[in-house]
Structure 1
Amino acid sequence: MPNSVSEPYDLVVVGAGAAGLSGAVTASESGLSVALLDASEHLGGQFYRHPAAALGAVRPEALHHDWSVFADLRRRLESSGVSRLAGHHVWSVTRDDDCWAVHAVTGADGDQERPVRVRARALLLATGAYERQLPFPGWTLPGVVGAGGAQAMLKSGLVLPGKKVVVAGSGPLLLAVAASLAAAGARVPAVVEASGYLRYARHPRALAANPHKLVEAVVHGGAMLRHRVRPLLRSAVTHVHGAERVEAVTVARLDRDWRAVPGSERRIECDALAVGHGLAPQIELATALGCATRRTVDATAALVLDGLQETTVPGVWSAGETGGVGGSRLAIAEGELAALSIAARLTGRSELPRGRHAGRLRRRRDRMRAFADALAAAHAPGPGWPQWLPDDTDVCRCEEVTAGRVREAVTDLGAGDARTVKLLTRAGMGWCQGRMCGAAVACLAAGGGEVPPPAERRPFAVPVPLGALAGLDPATAPSDPTDD
Structure 2
Amino acid sequence: MEKSNPVVIVGGGPSGTAAAALLGKYRIPSVIIDEAPKIGGVIYRGPLRKTATLPHLDDNLQRAMSALRRRYENYKSFIELKLQTRVLGPEGKQSLLLNEGGGLTTQKYDELILATGCHERSIPFPGWQLPGVMLLGGVQLQIKSGLVKPGTKMALVGTGPLLPLVACQLHKAGVNVIGVYEASAFNKLAKEAVALLNKPKLTLSGLSMMSYLKKHQIPFYYGYGVVNAQGDAHLERVTVAPYDQYWRADLSQAKSIEVDAIGVGYGFVARTQLAMLLGLEHTYTKVSGYIPVLSSEFESNQTKTYVVGDSTGLLGADAAICEGQIAALNIVKQRGILSATEAKKEQAKIARKHARIKRFRFGFDRFSERQSGLLELAQDDTVVCRCEQATKRQLEQAISEGVKDLTTLKMRTRIGMGDCQGKTCSSFALDLLHQAGHNKDTGVIKPRFPLDPIPFTFMEESLNEQV
Q: Return the TM-score normalized by structure 1.
A: 0.88
Counterparts in 2 of 1:182-193, with a 5 A limit?
Answer: 182-193=171-182
SS in 2 for 1:386: helix
Please give the alpha-carbon distance, in whole angstroms, between the structure 1 residues aligned to 2:407 and 2:59. Answer: 39
Return the letter of the residue paired with 1:72: A
Please report how far the alpha carbon of residue 71 of structure 1 lies from its aligned counterpart in structure 2 after TM superposition: 2.0
Q: Aligned pair in 2 of structure 1 residues 40, 289: CA closer, same or farther (>3 Å)? A: same
Counterparts in 2 of 1:460-479, with a 5 A limit?
Answer: 460=449, 462-467=451-456, 468=458
User: Is 1:384–1:448's contact at 8 Å kept on the other side of the alignment?
Assistant: no
Query: Are residues 1:320 and 2:309 paired?
Result: yes
The residue aligned with 2:361 is: 372
Query: Are residues 1:438 and 2:426 paired?
Result: yes
Please report how far the alpha carbon of residue 450 of structure 1 lies from its aligned counterpart in structure 2 after TM superposition: 11
Render the CA deviation track for 1:100-157: whole Å, top value 9, x for unaligned: 21221025xxxx2x11211121011110011111110000001011111001000112
Please report how far the alpha carbon of residue 313 of structure 1 lies from its aligned counterpart in structure 2 after TM superposition: 1.9
Please report how far the alpha carbon of residue 206 of structure 1 lies from its aligned counterpart in structure 2 after TM superposition: 2.5
Render the CA deviation track for 1:226-267: whole Å, top value 9, x for unaligned: 221212222211110111111111112122112222412111
Counterparts in 2 of 1:74-473, with a 5 A limit?
Answer: 74-80=69-75, 81-93=78-90, 96=93, 100-107=94-101, 112=102, 114-298=103-287, 300-347=289-336, 349=338, 350-355=340-345, 357-412=346-401, 414-447=402-435, 454-460=443-449, 462-467=451-456, 468=458
The residue aligned with 1:15 is: 11
SS in 2 for 1:67: helix
Return the letter of the residue paired with 2:57: A
User: Is 1:247–1:269's contact at 8 Å kept on the other side of the alignment?
Assistant: yes
Please report how far the alpha carbon of residue 77 of structure 1 lies from its aligned counterpart in structure 2 after TM superposition: 2.0
SS in 1 for 2:409: helix
SS in 2 for 1:70: helix
Return the letter of the residue paired with 2:235: V
- With 419-428 and 135-144 compared, the bigger mean Cα shift is at 419-428
Q: Aligned pair in 2 of structure 1 residues 369, 280: CA closer, same or farther (>3 Å)? A: same
Please give the alpha-carbon distance, in whole angstroms, between the structure 2 residues aligned to 1:197 and 1:103. Answer: 48
Please give the alpha-carbon distance, in whole angstroms, between the structure 2 residues aligned to 1:77 and 1:61. Answer: 24
Please give the alpha-carbon distance, in whole angstroms, between the structure 2 residues aligned to 1:209 and 1:260. Answer: 33
User: Is 2:55–2:173's contact at 8 Å kept on the other side of the alignment?
Assistant: no
Q: Aligned pair in 2 of structure 1 residues 60, 261: CA closer, same or farther (>3 Å)? A: closer
The residue aligned with 1:480 is: none
SS in 2 for 1:62: coil
Please report how far the alpha carbon of residue 341 of structure 1 lies from its aligned counterpart in structure 2 after TM superposition: 1.1
SS in 1 for 2:18: helix
User: Is 1:12–1:120's contact at 8 Å kept on the other side of the alignment?
Assistant: yes
SS in 1 for 2:352: helix
Please report how far the alpha carbon of residue 10 of structure 1 lies from its aligned counterpart in structure 2 after TM superposition: 3.2
Please give the alpha-carbon distance, in whole angstroms, between the structure 1 residues aligned to 2:367 and 2:111. Answer: 36
5+ long unaligned stretches in structure 1 = 1-5, 474-484
- With 120-129 and 170-179 compared, the bigger mean Cα shift is at 170-179
Q: Aligned pair in 2 of structure 1 residues 308, 347: CA closer, same or farther (>3 Å)? A: same
Query: Are residues 1:47 and 2:36 paired?
Result: no
- With 159-168 and 78-87 compared, the bigger mean Cα shift is at 78-87
Please report how far the alpha carbon of residue 60 of structure 1 lies from its aligned counterpart in structure 2 after TM superposition: 7.5
How many residue pairs get matched?
Answer: 457
User: Is 1:102–1:119's contact at 8 Å kept on the other side of the alignment?
Assistant: yes
SS in 2 for 1:65: helix
Query: Are residues 1:68 and 2:56 paired?
Result: no
User: Is 1:132–1:278's contact at 8 Å kept on the other side of the alignment?
Assistant: yes
Q: Aligned pair in 2 of structure 1 residues 461, 274: CA closer, same or farther (>3 Å)? A: farther
Render the CA deviation track for 1:169-194: whole Å, top value 9, x for unaligned: 12211111111111111111111111
SS in 1 for 2:109: strand
- With 319-328 and 342-351 compared, the bigger mean Cα shift is at 342-351
SS in 1 for 2:246: coil
Please report how far the alpha carbon of residue 61 of structure 1 lies from its aligned counterpart in structure 2 after TM superposition: 8.4
Q: Aligned pair in 2 of structure 1 residues 46, 382: CA closer, same or farther (>3 Å)? A: same
Please report how far the alpha carbon of residue 286 of structure 1 lies from its aligned counterpart in structure 2 after TM superposition: 1.2
Q: Aligned pair in 2 of structure 1 residues 64, 330: CA closer, same or farther (>3 Å)? A: farther
Return the letter of the residue paired with 2:81: R
Please give the alpha-carbon distance, in whole angstroms, between the structure 1 residues aligned to 2:414 and 2:52. Answer: 43
